Structure 1
Amino acid sequence: MTDPIEPSTSSSFSSAVKDATTLIHPRREPFEHGLLPIPKLIFTDPTQTLIPLKQKLVELSTNHRVDSATLSESLQISIDHARLVLDALSSVLHSESDPLVKAKPGEIDSVGADIHDLVLFLYIQSYKRLLPRTHKDSAAVADVWPSTSAFDGYLSALSPLQLVRSNSRRFMPSQTDEEAHQLSYLQKHLANILSLLAEPVEGEGEESLVLTMYRFEHLGFLIQFGDKGSERNPLSQSSPFFANSDPDMPAVPVPAAQVHDWILQNITSALEHISERASPKENGPPSASDQDVAMADACASSVKALTCPRGPCFIEGISKSSYVKQASDIKGSSVKVLNCHESTIYVLAPLKYATVYGCSDATVVIGAVGKAVRVEHCERVHIIIAAKRICIANCRECVFFLGVNQRPLIVGDNHKLQVAPYNTFYSQLEEHMTEVEVDAIINKWDEPLALGVVDPHDSLSHPAGVSDVQAESATHIDPDHFTNFLIPNWLGGDSTGTTNDNPFQLPDPYMMSQHKNQKNLEEIKQMLREVPLEENRKRELSSAIHVYFKDWLYASGNIRQLYCLQGD
């Protein structure tokens, strides 16, 4: 069999890259929301493990799709972990038309995962993330970060290595740094990745591997061209191999070596572009409008902005105030809330992905998230969110009020976490939930799944013997301490919204507690109306009530809601 496309020279590849109107980008979602710290999924040599595993899955699967039972048996992992793999994969797939993405929460296992997507998902479990960086301005951090913590005694007893891991005063690498790191990873592993997708030409052995258009499209799980991803513009249409192919006639397979050279050229070009943009910044401080500034490098006590570079929108550095964004304010489908302190953050919009990172003493309300949420390195934060799935990592003394369709995943070094049922609403909440397909009937807030304390995806050596220590889970908040969170009407979005109550059903103990609190309130009001008091006694009583109310506001964290009265 002759090659379907004549081998191209490196110069022709370079020319094609130079003439391209868009650059290649890694898809962030698998790297940000698809990594699971399950030791049996992290292979020393992914290719040597996954090629025979793939063959085994093909033999056991139906229509090249794998259910959790088959995955559990093949990988020798628990059925819970196998289902977690399918849940995580469904949240980061590139194709919205894939049956796993379209499946309802109870149907994911019966639908199963496409084998090609699954092996790519398993391959990148060996990815090592960039380490968070310390802040350049330690004084700025001290201004907003609490000087004392319930865990100071605990931290002082740790070794220097453990202290690095436990210190939650971390700052995310810039979006540009992460993209370059992910591109470099793909550059290094591209040959192995292609070997998992390619197939030998009949009669010519393993030496002659080719990629069909169908298998080439699965690379869209890891890479894309342009800003919007591969669903609107399939990866094949950005390639010289399959662009403008007749949909009624299968495209001719392409030698894997040719695909390898073409993608490598594009990655090299993208890394050069990133390097060129980074060079001017090394000669002076970046401007406020620079999209690629590391968000953590801004002064946390003064920044109050929403910036939307290519990809996620960033809300960062909010301190001692409220901050509100509606659906009309958000460009794109992903939000990151970074390094916000002693504030209330409202993101009342339908989203695909959300990240909350490095926040303290804050309340964060995020409308509806249809794919995945990650909350990391936060301390004394209240998170209120309706979402398909949530991952909580390395947090302390946080309370999560959840309406989630999948079990909350808890990983890393966590302490004194609490979970509770969802506790708020705004006028457009149900419309936003419907838009991103979050189901109000299913709420697994009370079924947290804890994995390992050490995250093997961090680029850091880990103490021997602790890689499989289970993370601390979360306790349920006492129903007597459960309160509804009021989003002021003027923050609720378009007045045409139809939501006028919490769309998630409260469990009986929490409902009973709400009714009891309401009854007690009415009785106290009646007593105050009826008690005969002189005017000076009324003033004393009023003053005492205000003092106790103020103490309760601070103790419960509800003082943050009053920031809304300050306006933006």
Structure 2
Amino acid sequence: GQLSVDTLQFLLFLYVQQVNKVSLRRSLIGEEWPSPRIKSPSLSGKSTSENKNWNDQDHCAFVQSHLLDMLELLLEPEQLTASSHSTHSSVVSYEAVCALSFLIEGTLNKSRTVYPLHELALWQPCHRRNGYSKVSRAFSFSKLESWLRSCLTTNPFGMTACFKSGKKLAWAQQVEGTTKRAKIACNTCVAPAAFPMVIMSQVYKQTLAKSSSTLVGAHVRIHRCNKSFIYLLSPLRSVTIEKCRNSTFVLGPVQASVHVHSCDNVKVIVVCHRLSLSSTTGCTFYILTPTQPLILSGNQAVSFAPFHTHYPMLEDHMAQVGLATLPNYWDSPMLVCKESSDTSIFRLLPPSDFYTFVIPFEMEGDTTETPGGLPHAYRKALSQREQKVQIWQKMVKEAGLTKDQRKQFQILVEKKFYEWLFQTGNHQQLDSLVPPAVGSKQAAG
């Protein structure tokens, strides 16, 4: 079977990339600066330079202002003038409206049931306003444009609405007093079942853990987190990690894609269908994936390593999203950028730098080891390290130390261990692992 895409949908996909187009004129008057990594986005709607990827009002404004161009882009050639513009008699094919469903969907009478645009457009009461003809199976260009403009509104289940009307999430592991700036919300209480969204923004110096039905099948957006450890141990639909630094993200299996953008020094541990990354620096990805990781533009010092952890429900969650241990292309990234000949952008993590990762929460389930195991070189490195520990333990045991010497030796080892914790930053994670409530065995909020 050959792979293919719908031509009209692909045209629209290319066209809407302009939503992030940088205006040099606007940058001269201080409204915009031509660097995607300098903007400090907010979802309040107050800033003129906020990240358009996160603002549903910007999305709606873009479609409103470019609707005419997009409709003309979908017209058959004979419906256009010599200058490639529509006329008063131009008609839009049903196939073109189906393509517009890629961008636009809606509800009837403000219900929570969401329909694609082409289904709404065929609804009998709308025919008079959108100019649909059953004979030609096409729409009047002018009436369709007018109907769309009058009905378009911001996404009521999108990111902006999620923060405004969504439910604040509770967490199994959370250090009180350091979440003042953090914004964490989900829209499952207001959105249809097909649109669950969880948003986490500005989490700072936190260890957060959750495994619950709230996360199952959710689209997760993680934004501007710093010095944090975040565990989302449920099967997820998709994950976007943007503008985060010095943090570790341990994710449940992701059915679709994980996209990491504009992040510095983050670790992502995940089983996912697709991984893509852009504008990252010094990030490490411990992954199990049936597709080649996509390295887009602007990345530096990327490291890839095999997936190296487990939690009791992991294999059940993998089965729920249709992911298996084979094939696994963690070590075969594809460069999809102008630097495609520069393989120094990424490396495979040397086995000498590889350690397994322990998820420090008790849960019910059957998974007791890393699914699929580890590649031979990494297994060998771990085995050699374990042998050194055993030799060390044997040497200490055979040293014949007195009780006082053992006590002094223990104090010295603990001192060195604490020095190592602070040098590596691992003390933060240990300090934030407060004991769960008595009787709780789930990392659920």
Superposition TM-score, scaled by structure 1 size: 0.59
For residues 213 and 439 of structure 1, do their structure 2 counterparts lie closer, same or farther at Cα, with a shift above 3 Å needed? farther
- The 2-side partners of 1:469 and 1:441 are apart by 28
Task: Note if 1:172 corresponds to 2:54.
Answer: no
Query: Are the aligned partners of 2:215 and 2:236 in contact in 1 as well (CA < 8 Å)?
Result: no
Match of 1:527 in 2: 395
Letter in 2 for 1:221: F
Structural mapping, 1:61-76, within 5 Å: none
Superposed displacement of residue 342, structure 1: 2.1
Q: Which residue of 112, 115, 124 maps to 2:4?
A: 112
Paired residues in the alignment total: 389
Match of 1:396 in 2: 281
- The 2-side partners of 1:175 and 1:406 are apart by 37
Letter in 2 for 1:480: S
Q: Which residue of 295, 306, 323 maps to 2:184?
A: 306
Task: Note if 1:124 corresponds to 2:16.
Answer: yes
Task: Note if 1:518 corresponds to 2:386.
Answer: yes
Provide the alpha-carbon RMSD of the alignment.
4.2
Match of 1:187 in 2: 64
Letter in 2 for 1:186: V
For residues 548 and 201 of structure 1, do their structure 2 counterparts lie closer, same or farther at Cα, with a shift above 3 Å needed? same
Letter in 1 for 2:407: R
- The 2-side partners of 1:184 and 1:470 are apart by 39
Structural mapping, 1:43-58, within 5 Å: none
For residues 511 and 289 of structure 1, do their structure 2 counterparts lie closer, same or farther at Cα, with a shift above 3 Å needed? closer
For residues 443 and 251 of structure 1, do their structure 2 counterparts lie closer, same or farther at Cα, with a shift above 3 Å needed? farther
- The 1-side partners of 2:221 and 2:178 are apart by 15
Q: Which residue of 368, 371, 380 maps to 1:503?
A: 371
Q: Which residue of 339, 346, 351 maps to 1:479?
A: 351
Superposed displacement of residue 166, structure 1: 8.1
- The 2-side partners of 1:386 and 1:324 are apart by 17
Superposed displacement of residue 241, structure 1: 4.8
- The 2-side partners of 1:356 and 1:477 are apart by 21
Query: Are the aligned partners of 1:401 and 1:422 in contact in 2 as well (CA < 8 Å)?
Result: yes
Query: Are the aligned partners of 1:200 and 1:210 in contact in 2 as well (CA < 8 Å)?
Result: no
Task: Note if 1:239 corresponds to 2:121.
Answer: yes
Query: Are the aligned partners of 2:22 and 2:34 in contact in 1 as well (CA < 8 Å)?
Result: no
Match of 2:434 in 1: 566
- The 2-side partners of 1:251 and 1:560 are apart by 67
Match of 1:365 in 2: 250
Superposed displacement of residue 514, structure 1: 1.9
Query: Are the aligned partners of 1:405 and 1:442 in contact in 2 as well (CA < 8 Å)?
Result: yes
Superposed displacement of residue 417, structure 1: 2.6
Superposed displacement of residue 304, structure 1: 4.6
For residues 474 and 468 of structure 1, do their structure 2 counterparts lie closer, same or farther at Cα, with a shift above 3 Å needed? closer
Task: Note if 1:290 corresponds to 2:164.
Answer: yes
For residues 233 and 252 of structure 1, do their structure 2 counterparts lie closer, same or farther at Cα, with a shift above 3 Å needed? same
Q: Which residue of 197, 219, 235 maps to 2:100?
A: 219
Question: Deviations along 1:41-97, whole A, 9 cap, x unmatched?
Answer: xxxxxxxxxxxxxxxxxxxxxxxxxxxxxxxxxxxxxxxxxxxxxxxxxxxxxxxxx
Secondary structure of 2:356's aligned partner: coil
Superposed displacement of residue 509, structure 1: 1.1
Sequence identity of aligned pairs in percent? 24
Query: Are the aligned partners of 1:198 and 1:256 in contact in 2 as well (CA < 8 Å)?
Result: no
For residues 373 and 289 of structure 1, do their structure 2 counterparts lie closer, same or farther at Cα, with a shift above 3 Å needed? closer
Match of 1:461 in 2: none
For residues 216 and 363 of structure 1, do their structure 2 counterparts lie closer, same or farther at Cα, with a shift above 3 Å needed? same
- The 1-side partners of 2:360 and 2:249 are apart by 14
Question: Deviations along 1:500-544, whole A, 9 cap, x unmatched?
Answer: 221244222112112222232233333333331112221232223
- The 1-side partners of 2:261 and 2:249 are apart by 13
Secondary structure of 1:565's aligned partner: coil
Match of 2:300 in 1: 415
For residues 404 and 196 of structure 1, do their structure 2 counterparts lie closer, same or farther at Cα, with a shift above 3 Å needed? same
Match of 2:141 in 1: 256
Query: Are the aligned partners of 2:94 and 2:118 in contact in 1 as well (CA < 8 Å)?
Result: yes
Superposed displacement of residue 231, structure 1: 10
Superposition TM-score, scaled by structure 2 size: 0.73
Question: Deviations along 1:350-377, whole A, 9 cap, x unmatched?
Answer: 2222122232222111112222222223
Secondary structure of 1:512's aligned partner: helix
Secondary structure of 2:208's aligned partner: strand
Query: Are the aligned partners of 2:105 and 2:114 in contact in 1 as well (CA < 8 Å)?
Result: no
For residues 271 and 357 of structure 1, do their structure 2 counterparts lie closer, same or farther at Cα, with a shift above 3 Å needed? closer
- The 1-side partners of 2:64 and 2:183 are apart by 34
Match of 1:460 in 2: none
Query: Are the aligned partners of 1:241 and 1:254 in contact in 2 as well (CA < 8 Å)?
Result: no
Superposed displacement of residue 324, structure 1: 0.9
Q: Which has the higher contact order (CA 8 A, sep 6+)?
A: 1
For residues 528 and 113 of structure 1, do their structure 2 counterparts lie closer, same or farther at Cα, with a shift above 3 Å needed? same
Superposed displacement of residue 334, structure 1: 0.9
Question: Deviations along 1:80-132, whole A, 9 cap, x unmatched?
Answer: xxxxxxxxxxxxxxxxxxxxxxxxxxx7xx2322323222223333432689x
For residues 418 and 223 of structure 1, do their structure 2 counterparts lie closer, same or farther at Cα, with a shift above 3 Å needed? same
More helix by share: 1
Structure 1: gaps (5+ residues): 1-106, 132-162, 279-287, 293-298, 454-466
- The 2-side partners of 1:360 and 1:516 are apart by 32
- The 2-side partners of 1:289 and 1:264 are apart by 26
For residues 368 and 264 of structure 1, do their structure 2 counterparts lie closer, same or farther at Cα, with a shift above 3 Å needed? same
- The 2-side partners of 1:534 and 1:122 are apart by 74
- The 1-side partners of 2:423 and 2:384 are apart by 21
Query: Are the aligned partners of 1:322 and 1:567 in contact in 2 as well (CA < 8 Å)?
Result: no
Query: Are the aligned partners of 1:313 and 1:331 in contact in 2 as well (CA < 8 Å)?
Result: no
